[in-house]
Chain A
Amino acid sequence: MHTGFLTIYWRDMLRFVRFRSLLFASLIQPALWLAFFGIAMSNNFDRLTSTLPPIPGIKAVGYLTFICAGVIAMTTLFTSLFGGTVLLFDKNWGLMRETLSSPLPRIHIIVGIGLSGMTKSFIQAAVIMGLGLLLGVQFFEGYTPARILISLLGIMLFIGAFSLGFLFLSAAIAITMESPEGMQAVITLLTMPFFFTSNALYPSNSFPPVLRALSTVNPLTHLVSGIRYFAIGSDFSSIGIHYIYTQGGILVSFLALLAFAVIMFLIARWRFSKVTVT
């Protein structure tokens, strides 16, 4: 097997750890979301919902626990959507020529960037989870070590499939666009609908029908469901709403993320085949 994608991976990770400020910011930013937005909202929600009677026999978790999965998912979305930007800079500064004029199949560029972006998402998710546990997020509560391990593996699978899909999308956009400003605008525009039609920060149960339909096809919703299933459990209540996740439902969510990644990969491959070296 040709391992050229590892070269692309190596270079991208090299840059990631080289810029201390960038590395630091990318790790601190999601933690701040959890620390400020999470705690502020959590106090509000917990006060509003404290009057609701707890559902008997069901594990109840606080809003901070609820939102922690959302913050992980949101961070993965942002990091992945911006993960392809390096390709745009490479293209504009002429660095891409070296890679494109080499014998490396172009598909390896897409795969390499996808894998390095995925690694970054794993690191960020680990940081958020660690901080979350320190702040009192009830993840893996009462789990045996073996179950924690399986849960972590499940979460990684979900984050992996999700981030690859958005990284491929990002790579396709980057290789098509001309200016970084344009790319920034397009991506910011893209994040909005994904973010707000998902169940990341609030329950999607009471959405109007159209939003609800959007929420159902939104990959972010599937990622959040996956993380909650593995980190909190299949049956719990939060802010007065009862959540039940079935194994079948979670499998469908995972398959949806995989399908999304495959489609995005095909689009990226098509966009890369159009690139000409000038």
Chain B
Amino acid sequence: MWKNRAGEIAMNSPNPTFTPVGQDALDWLGTDPVPAKPYYDPEWFELEREAVFRRSWQQIGHVCELPENGSFIRRDLEVLGASLLITRGQDGEIRAFHNVCTHRGTILVDEDEGKRNTFSCPYHMWTFGLDGDLISAPDFESFHVSKAECALPAVACEVVGGLIFVHLGKPEGTLREWLGPYATKLEMMPVARATTFSEYVYEIDANWKLTYDNFQENYHLRFIHPSAAGPVTSPDNPFAYPTAYDFHGPHRSQRIWTKPDMDPPTGVQAIAFQRGAVQAMADGILGTETAKDYLGLFPNFFLFGSPMQHFSHTVYPIAAGKSRGVIRLYWIGEDETPSERFAREYFMATARDVHTEDRAVIERGHKGLASGALKHIHFQTQESLCRHLFNMVAEKVEAYRSEKEGAAA
């Protein structure tokens, strides 16, 4: 069916307009085969915990989850064995703490989210404020420590574009410095104004890099997503490759190509697009400069600027061969009209359909790699974002390994 469609379009489009990004512009990333082992090896994964995740800002939530002073969320970061408590204080400030009572280490808060002024540990009723200070503890006079020394351990926490990031190590600079020019892009995107979101979550038996890589190359689209990719490919760009790549430090992005003569949608899909477009127009997010930007923020976060399906995707590592994906479609305002509600549910279900197809093939990929059959895997020019992720991870793991060896010597 895809061939018929393409053939038909080929006759109508005698002048191809698409030019892929050339290898020359990407030579700096190298062209060698990439070692397979880092994609499944538990020993390598142990190094990544410290070298990558302890040393990076990680996206963990959105300000709309903390709508009022006193709002809190709990987030577990398995890769660092951490449970985090993120609060909005009476001063409106968003702060993050280890969700651990400073008395004897009990996990303080059990609920996923809520609103409170204090948090009491169930074990001995040590009670903390939204700012992490220890407010009271029964028979505290019998301890040999001051209350000031018993505040919840703070975790570096900063917000850009409405997105909350935490750093569980010692940040070398601010989040804004870490993001560089991508900070401005985040602030221009609808996520910066979002007040709610749709979310779906998947668990996957696959390494986080292998999982993440799937979402930063378009080479697979026409094969894995025949229904969704058919309408967006054309004879001059049969794989729907992006029009540009961009790199900043460990981060990277692509600019999505849009087929100029795409057939209009039909049926229920057409109605969903019409109704959704009315709202996107009202929100002023149609045709923005960042609408085609697809950002990959190191180590494990994506954000697509599309106004109609403005989604983020975080791949949380759990073990060398296990990850969790969290996908959110961010929206501005609650459902104002039944039409808007319909469009949002439809767009969420559409994205979920596509990600379903990805999840299935990624698990298959991990199973093959984890068999140890391959020494190397291969990335082509248009899989350069995958290569860049590997290079960044390898650089950080090697640096960490040298430090450790240096310290041991």
A binds B: no
Binding site for A on B (CB under 8 A): none
Binding site for B on A (CB under 8 A): none
